[in-house]
Amino acid sequence: MTSSDKNTDNIISDGSYVLVVLNEHKRWVTKVESGKQFHCHKGFIEFDEVIGKPYGIRIFTSKSTAVSIYKPLQIDFLSKISHSSQIIYPKDAGLILLYGDIKPGSRVIETGTGSGGLTSILASYVRPNGHIYSYENREQAFKTSTNNIKKLGLNDAITLKLQDAIEGFDEEDVDAIVLDLASPEEIIPHAYSSLRSSGTVSIFIPTYNQIERTYHELKEYDFGDIICFETIKRELQLKTNAIRPQTRIIGHTGFLIFARKRTKMVQK
């Protein structure tokens, strides 16, 4: 890919998604449509005024308020596609990429799909040669995620399955498995069976109670190098001469357990 290709990529066109930022709290991912407008409480902008311009421009609304028009980051789409309460946070998705060693070329099983938020993050990092196989047993969630993944243009990297993980996975020798569902401990045997040796399992768990059950099942199935941790994200107030942590924060999202598949002991 040459620099001039990049420049072409970087121009807003009809049908592009953009992130419109009014301020820290007011921000929207929206699709550019020629002849239409984007409306917020601070006025509107004509999409035709931004088509052909580079991402990153600032423009005034009809009420003379400046807004910035960015190319959405992959994580900007999370707020758009996840309307349910159960959303993955970027901080946790980043940990799953690194501790699960999910990277370009990885073949990954995920369950459950939910609205497809984590699926979309994983898919964007295994491309172009890797693949995500995502299992979901609730029909409504399957429909929502199918729709979301299509909008994001990630179909080629994702196979969505309306299938209950409790009945096992169709894939074998995958590099990594990600469990983000109510009873992960029940899926451990299937995870063991579908992973390649030395492959990783990454488990997202909201409550303490599940940690012990899941840990026991992982030991039972001969997973090794089992670790569990959480991260607390603390945003800072950026204000001249008054830098300080924010008063109100999200104090908990979930615990993460990581483990690696071992094979039978070599006897001496």
Interacting residues with a copy of itself between 116 and 145 (CB under 8 A): 121, 124-129
- Binding residue for a copy of itself (CB under 8 A) from 25, 41, 83, 248? 248
- 211: exposed, middle or buried (C-beta count within 10 Å: 0-12, 13-18, 19+)? middle
At a CB cut-off of 8 Å and minimum separation 6, what does 250 contact? 89, 233
Q: Which residues 31-90 are close enough to bind a copy of itself by CB under 8 A?
A: 49-50, 53-60, 64, 66, 68, 70-71, 73-75, 90
- Binding residue for a copy of itself (CB under 8 A) from 84, 150, 155, 250? 250
Structure tokens at 7: 């420049």
- Binding residue for a copy of itself (CB under 8 A) from 47, 135, 142, 255? 255
Q: Which residues 177-236 are close enough to bind a copy of itself by CB under 8 A?
A: 196-200, 206-209, 211-212, 215-216, 224-236
- Binding residue for a copy of itself (CB under 8 A) from 25, 83, 140, 241? 241
Tell me the C-alpha distance between 24 and 26, whole Å: 6
CA-angle at 185, arms to 183 and 191, nearest 5°: 110
At a CB cut-off of 8 Å and minimum separation 6, what does 7 contact? none
Of 21 and 162, nearer to a copy of itself (C-beta) is: 21
Contact yes or no for 212/257 (Cβ under 8 A) = no
| Beta carbon of residue 27, minimum distance to a copy of itself (angstroms, whole number) | 8
| Beta carbon of residue 59, minimum distance to a copy of itself (angstroms, whole number) | 5
| Beta carbon of residue 221, minimum distance to a copy of itself (angstroms, whole number) | 13
Of 94 and 163, nearer to a copy of itself (C-beta) is: 94
3 state SS of 82: coil
Does residue 175 interact with a copy of itself by CB under 8 A? yes
Contact yes or no for 202/256 (Cβ under 8 A) = yes
Structure tokens at 134: 């995502």
